[in-house]
Homo-oligomer: A and B are copies of this chain.
Amino acid sequence: MPSAASKLAYVPFVSVDNMMQLIHRIGLEDMLKGIAAYIEEDFRRWEMFDKTPRVASHSAEGVIELMPTSDGEVYGFKYVNGHPKNTRDGLQTVTAFGLLANVHTGYPVLLSEMTLLTALRTAATSALVARYLAPKGADTMALIGNGAQSEFQALAMRAICGVTKLRLYDIDPAATRKLVRNLSGRGFDLTACASPEAAMEGAQIVTTCTADKQYATILTDNMVGTGIHINAIGGDCPGKTELHKDILLRADVFVEYPPQTRIEGEIQQMPGDFPVTEFWHVVTGAAPGRRDARQITLFDGVGFATEDFSALRYVRDQIEGTGLYQQLDMVADPDDPRDLFGMLQRARAAETVV
């Protein structure tokens, strides 16, 4: 019988296939709601977290990042890349995996794919923020950028905020056709639009999720009417923005973690003291969310480590008893912890016998 220590040597691993099965078992919209609830809970206890801007390694083609955090009991980090040109080569722009560990022992307790999970947590965060900031009764969203993140944004905005009408635009009409195909028959009112301006007509929420790694102007000032909520999630690394700076001057800007957003978000275009509201202050009630119907609210979302932590916590709490994980032999576990060498020698003996 394995000792308690031996059991710790095995780390549950949720593969891509198991994550897909978990999503279907729970139901995608229920899972988005569940993850949003965990994210909200962690924003509420924001001050407990050990926070740091992500650690980025930039190259000409993209970036590889590590995003660690800890609540004092559990440590988590995500590995994530962003390589916009990957799409041309048939690869994902963003791939990711993540880990949770026990702060008190340092032993890993969960390893999980996070390409899918990142898509879910990003959409869940956007919808959670929109629930606090979008105008009351908002049911129409312009969705600009119809790539890998777009369907998840749409479903989260419906599950959490009640959005049912989508106005779609992408610079590549094939991306919009893919989105329409994927969401047809799911109860949305879908309108493919020929321009970003057309997509904005009648929308109370606009989501921008484009992927170019460059300064772009997806939205210009004259496209943004009063009272709208802007969910800008594509500007998420240095040199990558989606909004004209004049929009930022008219809007009230909400961010996750200012030290990271000032480097990576839309506000990288603005001076270092540009005023922003930290979203966790809205969740705790320390700061107002939307104050009036004419206000332009802007979520400058770049994705923060605590959101990945929340999503991994959610997965950890859901997989028990499902069998939707493998046990990885990842941590060396000698019977006597000071005898790593002895463990290695006994492994040879065991091999020889076999």
A interface list, Cβ under 8 A from B: 3-5, 8-9, 13, 15-17, 19-21, 23-24, 28, 50, 52, 55, 57, 59, 61-64, 66, 68, 70, 72, 75, 77, 79, 81-83, 86-87, 89-93, 95, 97, 99, 101, 103-108, 113, 115-116, 119, 146-152, 175, 178, 181-182, 328-345, 347-348, 351
| Residues A5 and B91 in contact in the complex (CB < 8 Å), given A344-B116, A348-B24 | yes
Contact indicator B79/A107 (Cβ below 8 Å): no
- Measured CA separation A351–B131 after assembly (Å): 34
Contact indicator B64/A75 (Cβ below 8 Å): yes
Contact indicator A5/B90 (Cβ below 8 Å): yes
19 A-B pairs within 8 Å (CB atoms) are namely: A15-B329, A16-B331, A20-B343, A24-B348, A52-B55, A57-B68, A62-B105, A66-B66, A83-B105, A86-B106, A87-B337, A87-B338, A90-B337, A91-B105, A92-B340, A95-B332, A113-B330, A148-B334, A178-B339
Contacts of A21 in B (CB 8 A): 347, 351
User: How far is the CB of A177 from the nearest CB of chain B, in Å?
Assistant: 11
Contact indicator B15/A106 (Cβ below 8 Å): no
Contacts of A330 in B (CB 8 A): 15-16, 97, 113
- Measured CA separation A23–B75 after assembly (Å): 31
User: How far is the CB of A324 from the nearest CB of chain B, in Å?
Assistant: 12
Contact indicator B59/A331 (Cβ below 8 Å): no
Contact indicator A75/B90 (Cβ below 8 Å): no
How many of these chains are in the complex?
Answer: 2
Contact indicator A108/B97 (Cβ below 8 Å): yes
Contacts of A9 in B (CB 8 A): 16
| Residues A86 and B66 in contact in the complex (CB < 8 Å), given A337-B93, A344-B116 | no
Nearest CB in chain B to that of A82: its residue: B106
Contact indicator A68/B55 (Cβ below 8 Å): yes
| Residues A332 and B116 in contact in the complex (CB < 8 Å), given A55-B52, A86-B337, A337-B86 | yes
Nearest CB in chain B to that of A175: its residue: B338
Known A59-B72, A90-B335; 4 more pairs at CB < 8 Å: A21-B351, A62-B106, A64-B75, A182-B339
| Residues A17 and B107 in contact in the complex (CB < 8 Å), given A57-B70, A348-B24 | no
